[in-house]
Structure 1
Amino acid sequence: MNFSKIVCSFVFILPFCIRYCNAQRISKSELNDSIQNFSYFTIHKDNYFITGVPLTNDINSNTADAKYQISFKQMITRDKLPWDTYLFITYTQKAFWNIYKDSYPFRDINFNPSLVLGKTIFNKSQKLEGIATIAFEHESNGRDSIYSRSWNRISGSFITSLTKRTVAEFKAWIPFGYKSGNPELLEYAGLGEINLEHELKKNRIYLNVMFRKGLNFKAKGVFRPRLYFAPFGKNISNQYIMVEWYWGQGESLLEYEESRSMIRVGYVIKSNEFNFFRMKN
């Protein structure tokens, strides 16, 4: 799979997708009312526990594993700051657990706190066009010596709807403080990512795809599709069964140079950060 062709093709069709979006977006007054009713403490990224096996190696207790993630967000204030911005903090912890080996050791745990400033963007009709953020992020595995991995970045993102059912997040970062422990990290992590989510069946089935391309001319990067299925009625609890395929490098900080093709399935409490763009669909 050629990551460069995928990204270039997507960038080419993006303007046409944005023009396609109709006027069923949430209004500025509706969004402001929703924010005032928000809980200060909410989910940030997906919270999940999944387990699976490799697709390219022998399946045994050394290659099968579990992965889980805990992620939350705390809004500092509901009141607007200058330039109609909002300030919040986030924390995400991702762990790789060798549950099929004796003593059930954790292979790696990655910690990712951030301080984020967000701003809602509206069009001339006062309909929500997108949400822009700028953040200071730190990510590390909390280990020392030759096993230490960490990096910092200033990241910017923009979330918008491409069609009635498709939402995209475009994220880029300026990294620093990484060369001493993992000087080749950007060869695998790159300088940004694209995250697409399509609603296949309202409130029941979603497809999410994330692309990331390393800073090289080789096929280093990430292709990570996820399929979500809600087995419970109206699903007001936002719980799903998730199937994830991770193909590429950089899944964990400790082994960011290692290429993997892993298929995993499990339970997820899905993030609702894209829901603003589906309220009027």
Structure 2
Amino acid sequence: MLSTWTTLNITIALLILSFYSTTSSAQKLTVAAQKCLLERIETADSSATIEQLRKHCLDEHAGDSDQEKNRQDDKIGQKSLSTPKHDGPYEGLSGKANRDGVISARMKQEKQTELNPYVITPHRLNYVLPVQSTNRINTEPFASLEGYEENLDDVEAKFQLSVKIPLTAEDLYVEGDALYFAFTLEAWWQVYSDNISKPFRETNYRPEIFYLMPLDWHPYGGNTGVSFGIEHQSNGRDQLLSRSWNRIYANFLYEVDNAAFHFQPWWRIPEDEKEFPLDSDGDDNPDITDFMGHFELGGAYKWNNCELFFNSRQNFATHKGAIELGFTFPLWRKVRGYATVFDGYGESLIDYNYRQTRIGLGFALTNIL
């Protein structure tokens, strides 16, 4: 059993160690120096002061601090290359082999703030189009609403809000993977239609859950990744105006330098047929894939703080689909200009089987890349 004097000395030494641990890094004791100081306190002559013993141990273990710092730097360096930090689940598509592309760069920036309660992480592009015109507005679905279809305007406003949140804080199966929940809202507003009280002509809701992972495959010096998800999309309406579908998808990603591409095939989850047209149960739009297709192919390129992108859909059996081109450019602070052209079927769910050409001009609140 330790004597009272020895116990008192050790207690004093621990208090001193605690004090010195709060000083600058140049004055901190390494673990080995701390053990040395405790041993010296027990065995040293009673005339020796704590400061003398401490100086002796610092001199004896002078090289330990640099070695320990080097070991910590090595660990940090390895972690930044191979594993995500604790404050976010996804490090990017680059893995250990190649430099980051534009998708990885975006993911790393999002990771710094995605767990911040005051920050909402964007998913798809967030934008407001005060003006979006069409070569011909689709009036057929509204034929049963008296005084509505003839007053629909070819020019309207549109906006999209799209956010996501991580459902995991650590790797699940492979290094750098993550599980997300996302929600996208699109709205078409007949703000210029005075005779029908400026209604929202159509609103689409799109919740989804997806799993995202990088791949250790780097063709042509780029990086790859893949995501798997399930999503529901509907317009929240009933009876003859109701439109909806559910699908399971895979999304293959490729980035190289300032360019990024994705290929997203999907499979629609079947629904039962309606027993009669106004039946609340059953499939509202059984032929939707004839017009919306079975996949999406898209790409984006970043150039001098401007972004050019495209998305396309196709059903090879019916030869129906759509293509969209978009361009964003800096305006002021975080606000960007946004111009878009769409041609084909399915610009909204109510128009899934209606072909038109739309041109829009407005503001983007987030980037794609």
What residue in structure 1 maps to residue 100 of structure 2? Answer: 25
Q: Any idea what SS the aligned residue of 1:254 has? A: helix
What residue in structure 2 maps to residue 198 of structure 1? Answer: 301
Match of 2:190 among 88, 95, 98: 98
Q: Does 1:79 align with 2:170?
A: yes
- When residues 91 and 271 of structure 1 are mapped into structure 2, their CA distance, relative to the original with a 3 A threshold, is farther
What residue in structure 2 maps to residue 252 of structure 1? Answer: 348
What residue in structure 2 maps to residue 279 of structure 1? Answer: none
Say whether the 8 Å CA contact 1:120–1:128 is kept in structure 2: no
Q: Does 1:45 align with 2:124?
A: yes
2-structure distance, mates of 1:135, 1:217: 26
Q: Does 1:131 align with 2:234?
A: no
1-structure distance, mates of 2:325, 2:105: 32
Gaps of 5+ in 2: 1-96, 138-150, 274-282
- When residues 38 and 56 of structure 1 are mapped into structure 2, their CA distance, relative to the original with a 3 A threshold, is same
What residue in structure 2 maps to residue 208 of structure 1? Answer: 309
Q: CA deviation at 1:114?
A: 0.5
Q: CA deviation at 1:188?
A: 0.9
Q: Any idea what SS the aligned residue of 2:350 has? A: coil
Q: CA deviation at 1:258?
A: 1.0
TM norm structure 2: 0.59
What residue in structure 2 maps to residue 65 of structure 1? Answer: 156
Q: CA deviation at 1:229?
A: 0.9
Gaps of 5+ in 1: 1-21, 275-281
- When residues 31 and 47 of structure 1 are mapped into structure 2, their CA distance, relative to the original with a 3 A threshold, is closer
- When residues 61 and 145 of structure 1 are mapped into structure 2, their CA distance, relative to the original with a 3 A threshold, is closer
Q: Any idea what SS the aligned residue of 1:242 has? A: strand
1-structure distance, mates of 2:105, 2:290: 43
1-structure distance, mates of 2:192, 2:132: 11
Larger Rg: 2
Q: Any idea what SS the aligned residue of 1:216 has? A: coil
Q: Does 1:223 align with 2:323?
A: yes
What residue in structure 2 maps to residue 174 of structure 1? Answer: 267
Aligned residues: 239
- When residues 262 and 124 of structure 1 are mapped into structure 2, their CA distance, relative to the original with a 3 A threshold, is closer
- When residues 254 and 55 of structure 1 are mapped into structure 2, their CA distance, relative to the original with a 3 A threshold, is closer
Higher helix share: 2
2-structure distance, mates of 1:67, 1:33: 30
Q: Any idea what SS the aligned residue of 2:349 has? A: coil
Q: CA deviation at 1:172?
A: 1.0
> Percent of aligned positions with the same letter in both sequences?
25
Q: CA deviation at 1:67?
A: 1.1
- When residues 264 and 32 of structure 1 are mapped into structure 2, their CA distance, relative to the original with a 3 A threshold, is closer
Match of 2:339 among 239, 243, 247: 243
Q: CA deviation at 1:124?
A: 7.4
- When residues 39 and 52 of structure 1 are mapped into structure 2, their CA distance, relative to the original with a 3 A threshold, is same
1-structure distance, mates of 2:218, 2:307: 30
1-structure distance, mates of 2:337, 2:107: 32
Deviations 1:194-230 (CA, angstroms, capped at 9, x unpaired): 11111232x2x11111111135343x21110001111
Deviations 1:217-270 (CA, angstroms, capped at 9, x unpaired): 43x2111000111123xx5x3x31100001111011112111111111001112
Deviations 1:85-124 (CA, angstroms, capped at 9, x unpaired): 3111000010111111021111111000001111112347
Match of 2:207 among 105, 113, 125: 113
Runs of 4+ in structure 1 off by over 2 angstroms are 22-26, 29-38, 54-57, 82-85, 122-125, 214-218
- When residues 147 and 61 of structure 1 are mapped into structure 2, their CA distance, relative to the original with a 3 A threshold, is closer
Say whether the 8 Å CA contact 1:149–1:182 is kept in structure 2: yes
Out of 171-180 and 95-104, give the one that drifted further: 171-180
Say whether the 8 Å CA contact 2:98–2:218 is kept in structure 1: no
1-structure distance, mates of 2:109, 2:353: 43
Q: CA deviation at 1:177?
A: 3.7
What residue in structure 2 maps to residue 19 of structure 1? Answer: none
Q: CA deviation at 1:174?
A: 0.9
Q: CA deviation at 1:23?
A: 4.8
Higher strand share: 1
